[in-house]
């Protein structure tokens, strides 16, 4: 058995790749791609009559395969199906880092899952509170209730929007500029930040449209997403590349943090760095840039 | 566990295997074919038989068609087939009990 370290609620999650739990060929070597999180799927990627088989396969994968630093999340079936309770039992028993609640629409959905997770932790002798949660918002109702969902549990680390189902509900289709989901993405981001959790964008499904994919990842970054859901390993590198701070951003952040510490020690609240006004409001952003740079292997200083 | 009715689990995709169970004639009767028979035949057979023993299956006709599955997949497919043969694969699985 491979003992997994205790999951971190807030860690780097730029990329989260979907893998069907029913496909041994996929899940056995999912850790080699350097993705931040893998999402072993018990929901839509598994046919209705194979839900049982996928759980056996998932359990042994979790217990046997060394995923190293790659986070292992499991997407469980929706609360309107007969499957989700057993899904939770197998996730907790197998020691998954977290559970993704599909089609989440309310704080009550999160609390219902949390209750069963706690019961499973007790049943299988897993440390209480170990199993993290995240929610997928797939409907207009989910988006409208984003804040209560994000703040429904101390186990919650983030929310993700699911484009396919959301567009279906809204009677829209994919547009290259993202205008079809602009409001929903924005509302979810605001809710996530207000609740202090992470926020992830949906998948980009056209693997041949490289330009479109790049444009969407850049927009995700500009909007403030922490990361993106992926369907293919070849999508990983671009997100890591584009989400990494540039050398210029890192140098600038370093200067700001250093100057702030010196100035505030000397009793100064507002000052300039390279001609730009800086006060305390800039510091968390600069520190976050340095932390992200460190996580990406681009910063080795001692400021964060 | 007994094999109450015929049951299968798995696929013929690469890295997977297909397990078929039928009620036996007083013992385990295993028929194995594998794409990696020469290298891993004995190991696969051992894993299948150990899994059946762990689940206390003593009477079954077992057909395994392997496509280069890892041990953890072999266990998962055999267990699933046994639970399916008892109509017991959908819930309350003894994870960490006989399923280890």
Q: How many CB pairs (< 8 A) connect A and B?
A: 74
**Alpha-carbon dihedral A285, A286, A288, A293, rounded to 10 degrees:** 140
Establish if A14 touches chain B: CB-CB under 8 angstroms. Answer: no
Contact criterion met (CB below 8 Å) for B39 and B53: no
Task: Give pLDDT tens digits for B41-94.
Answer: 999 999 999 999 999 999 999 999 999 999 999 999 999 999 999 999 999 999
Task: Give pLDDT tens digits for A243-259.
Answer: 999 999 999 999 999 99
Residue B2, domain member (yes or no): no
Task: Give pLDDT tens digits for A183-228.
Answer: 999 999 999 999 999 999 999 999 999 999 999 999 999 999 999 9
Contacts of B83 in chain A (CB under 8 A): 52, 56
- Identity of the residue in A25, A52, A93 whose CB atom sits nearest the CB atom of B80: A52
Question: Do A52 and B14 count as a contact with CB atoms less than 8 A apart?
Answer: no
Residue A5, domain member (yes or no): no
Residue A304, domain member (yes or no): no
Residue A75, domain member (yes or no): yes
- Identity of the residue in A52, A63, A86 whose CB atom sits nearest the CB atom of B84: A52
How many residues are there in chain A? Answer: 304
> What pLDDT was estimated at residue A85?
97
* Percentage helix, strand, coil for chain B under 3-state DSSP, each rounded to 5: 30, 25, 40
Do A143 and A238 lie in a common domain? Answer: yes
Say whether pLDDT at B39 is over 80. Answer: yes
Do A135 and A263 lie in a common domain? Answer: no
**Nearest CA to CA, how far is A84 from chain B (Å)?**
10
Residue B24, domain member (yes or no): yes
Establish if B83 touches chain A: CB-CB under 8 angstroms. Answer: yes
Residue A6, domain member (yes or no): no
Q: Give kind and range of the element (H or E) at residue B46.
A: helix B37-54
Do A197 and A263 lie in a common domain? Answer: no
> What pLDDT was estimated at residue A1?
59
The upper half-sphere exposure of residue B74, i.e. CA atoms within 13 Å in the direction of its Cβ, equals 24
Question: Do A53 and B92 count as a contact with CB atoms less than 8 A apart?
Answer: no
Task: Give pLDDT tens digits for A132-174.
Answer: 999 999 999 999 999 999 999 999 999 999 999 999 999 999 9
Q: Give the confidence band of A22 by pLDDT, cuts at 50, 70, 90.
A: confident
Residue A302, domain member (yes or no): no
Distance of alpha carbon B83 from alpha carbon B9, whole angstroms: 10
**Full residue range of the structural domain in which residue A168 is found:** 15-243
Establish if B15 touches chain A: CB-CB under 8 angstroms. Answer: yes
Q: Give the confidence band of A26 by pLDDT, cuts at 50, 70, 90.
A: confident
CATH (domain of B49): 3.30.230.10
Check if the interface score ipTM surpasses 0.90. Answer: yes
Do A251 and A239 lie in a common domain? Answer: no
Do A121 and A42 lie in a common domain? Answer: yes
**Full residue range of the structural domain in which residue B26 is found:** 7-84
Contacts of A53 in chain B (CB under 8 A): 9-10, 76-77, 80, 89
Residue A224, domain member (yes or no): yes
**Structural domain count, chain B:** 1
């Amino acid at each position: 058995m491979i003992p997994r370290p205790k999951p971190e609620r807030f860690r780097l999650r730029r990329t989260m790749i979907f893998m069907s739990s029913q496909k041994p060929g996929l899940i056995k070597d999912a850790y080699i791609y350097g993705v931040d999180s893998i999402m072993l799927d018990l929901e839509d990627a598994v046919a209705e009559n194979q839900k049982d088989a996928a759980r056996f396969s998932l359990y042994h994968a979790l217990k046997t395969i060394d995923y190293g630093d790659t986070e292992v999340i499991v997407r469980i079936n929706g609360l309107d199906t007969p499957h989700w309770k057993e899904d939770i039992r197998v996730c907790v028993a197998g020691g998954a880092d977290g559970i993704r609640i599909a089609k989440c629409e309310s704080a009550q959905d999160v609390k219902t899952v949390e209750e069963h997770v706690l019961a499973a932790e007790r049943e299988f002798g897993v440390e209480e509170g170990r199993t993290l949660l995240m929610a997928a918002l797939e409907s207009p109702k989910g988006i409208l209730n984003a804040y209560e969902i994000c703040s429904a549990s101390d186990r919650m680390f983030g929310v993700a929007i699911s484009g396919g189902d959301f567009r279906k509900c809204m009677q829209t289709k994919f547009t290259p500029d993202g205008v079809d989901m602009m409001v929903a993405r924005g509302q979810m981001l605001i809710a996530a930040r207000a609740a202090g959790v992470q926020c992830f964008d949906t998948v980009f499904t056209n693997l041949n449209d490289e330009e479109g994919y790049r444009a969407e990842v850049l927009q995700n970054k500009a909007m403030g997403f922490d990361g993106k859901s992926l369907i293919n390993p070849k999508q990983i590198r671009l997100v890591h590349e584009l989400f990494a701070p540039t050398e210029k951003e890192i140098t600038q952040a370093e200067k700001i943090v250093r100057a702030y510490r010196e100035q505030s020690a000397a009793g100064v609240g507002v000052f300039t760095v390279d001609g730009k006004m800086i006060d305390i409001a800039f510091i968390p952003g600069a520190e976050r840039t340095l932390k992200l740079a460190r996580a990406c292997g681009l910063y080795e200083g001692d400021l964060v | 566990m007994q094999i109450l009715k015929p049951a299968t689990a798995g696929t013929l995709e690469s890295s997977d295997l297909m397990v078929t169970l039928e009620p036996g004639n007083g013992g385990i009767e295993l028929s194995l074919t594998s794409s990696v028979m020469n290298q891993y035949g004995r190991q696969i057979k051992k894993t299948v038989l150990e899994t059946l023993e762990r689940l206390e299956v003593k009477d079954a006709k077992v057909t395994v068609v392997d496509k280069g599955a890892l041990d953890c997949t072999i266990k998962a497919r055999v267990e699933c087939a046994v639970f399916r043969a008892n109509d017991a694969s959908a819930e309350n699985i003894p994870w960490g009990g006989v399923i280890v």
